[in-house]
Amino acid sequence: MPQLFPCTWLLIFFLALCVIVFCLSLMNFFVLIDESTFKKTPKKDKIFQKREALTMKLVN
């Protein structure tokens, strides 16, 4: 029975890692949705304009 403990700890660690990665990807997904809806509005934030200018410089 004691041999099961390392396997269960590895399984728990792996599941926790998967949950963390899943949450981070969900957060990135919602940030992308917020930015796309934010671009449609004519009023833009100064920080957003600066970030957009930086990305345009990096692309060009």
- Give the residue, 10 or 30, on which the prediction is more confident: 10
Rounded Cα–Cα distance for residues 59 and 54 (Å): 9
What's the pLDDT score for residue 54? 77
pLDDT, one tens digit per residue, over 28-56 is 777 666 666 655 555 556 667 777 777 77
Tell me the mean pLDDT in the region 23-30: 76
CB within 8 Å of 35: residues ≥ 6 apart:
48
